[in-house]
């Protein structure tokens, strides 16, 4: 059982390590809205382990074991949402430092995989933490134009500005051609704003990606 704490609160997380000698690369996995660490570990973990890459999947604030019985999608209070956003960023930075200090992890090969909401949070995490050397955004994109309080949200975290701060760190985006939650147009706006090296993979699906998408992402990470 991992004992990782943020402001005295335990961050429940799943750490998966490959059966490989020496220091291994690792990916921090950030899940989507109303999902949890188990979902993300099951989605990406097996493909990463097959390629010798460890992964750490936490429950983000108000999700999984930290939900306290409430649906994390329920709140419409912008101040509460901003507080959750800041807490998720703080937790992610703490988890990156935790990984970098482990004797079985190579701190020069830390990557991040974010799915949906996790892709949005992951962009900010990568922008502010240079420990993240490569990024995979699954079902992620720019903000939709109808986002409530969009002007406020963009001042705090504008995906277009954030993706530009990667400044040459490898980026992979995997997206469904029929995604209605984060539309292909949103994904394309974000991809076009990113600098090289970058790659986009499209899948015949909606917001939920097939297992092959994570397998392709793991193969890409192994090379980058």
Tens-place pLDDT, residues 118-173: 999 999 999 999 999 999 999 999 988 765 555 666 677 799 999 999 988 999 99
* Environment class of 18 (CB within 10 Å of its CB; exposed 0-12, middle 13-18, buried 19+): middle
Residue ranges in the chain assigned as alpha helix (H): 37-50, 78-100, 117-128, 150-156, 159-164, 184-193, 211-223
Per-residue pLDDT at 141: 96
CATH superfamily of domain region 5-223: Alpha/Beta hydrolase fold, catalytic domain (3.40.50.1820)
- Residue 223 pLDDT greater than 80, yes or no: yes
- Where are the domains positioned within the chain? 5-223
Q: At what angle do helices 117-128 and 78-100 cross, to 10 degrees?
A: 60
Per-residue pLDDT at 73: 57
Tens-place pLDDT, residues 111-131: 999 999 999 999 999 999 999
- Residue 81 pLDDT greater than 80, yes or no: no
Per-residue pLDDT at 69: 65
Per-residue pLDDT at 41: 97
Per-residue pLDDT at 157: 77
**Phi, psi (rounded to 5 degrees) for 203:** -130, 150
Report the predicted TM-score, pTM, of the whole model to 2 decimal places: 0.92
């Amino acid at each position: 059982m991992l004992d990782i704490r943020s402001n005295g609160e335990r961050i429940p997380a799943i750490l998966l390590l490959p059966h490989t000698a020496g220091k291994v690369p690792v990916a921090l996995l950030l899940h989507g809205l109303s999902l949890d660490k188990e979902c993300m570990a099951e989605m990406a973990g097996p493909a990463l382990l097959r390629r010798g890459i460890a992964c750490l999947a936490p429950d983000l604030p108000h999700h999984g074991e930290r939900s306290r019985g409430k649906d994390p999608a329920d709140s419409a209070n912008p101040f509460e949402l901003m507080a959750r956003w800041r807490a998720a960023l703080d937790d992610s930075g703490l988890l990156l430092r935790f990984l970098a200090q482990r004797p079985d992890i190579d701190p020069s090969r830390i990557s991040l995989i974010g799915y949906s909401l996790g892709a949005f949070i992951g962009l900010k995490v990568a922008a502010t933490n240079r420990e993240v050397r490569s990024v995979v955004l699954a079902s992620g994109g720019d903000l939709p134009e109808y986002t409530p309080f969009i002007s406020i949200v963009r001042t705090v975290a504008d995906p277009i500005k954030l993706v530009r701060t990667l400044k040459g760190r490898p980026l992979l985006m995997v997206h469904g051609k029929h995604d209605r939650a984060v539309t292909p147009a949103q994904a394309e706006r974000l991809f076009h704003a990113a600098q090289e090296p970058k790659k986009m993979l499209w899948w015949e699906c909606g917001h939920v990606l097939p297992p092959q998408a994570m397998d392709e992402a793991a193969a890409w990470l192994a090379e980058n």
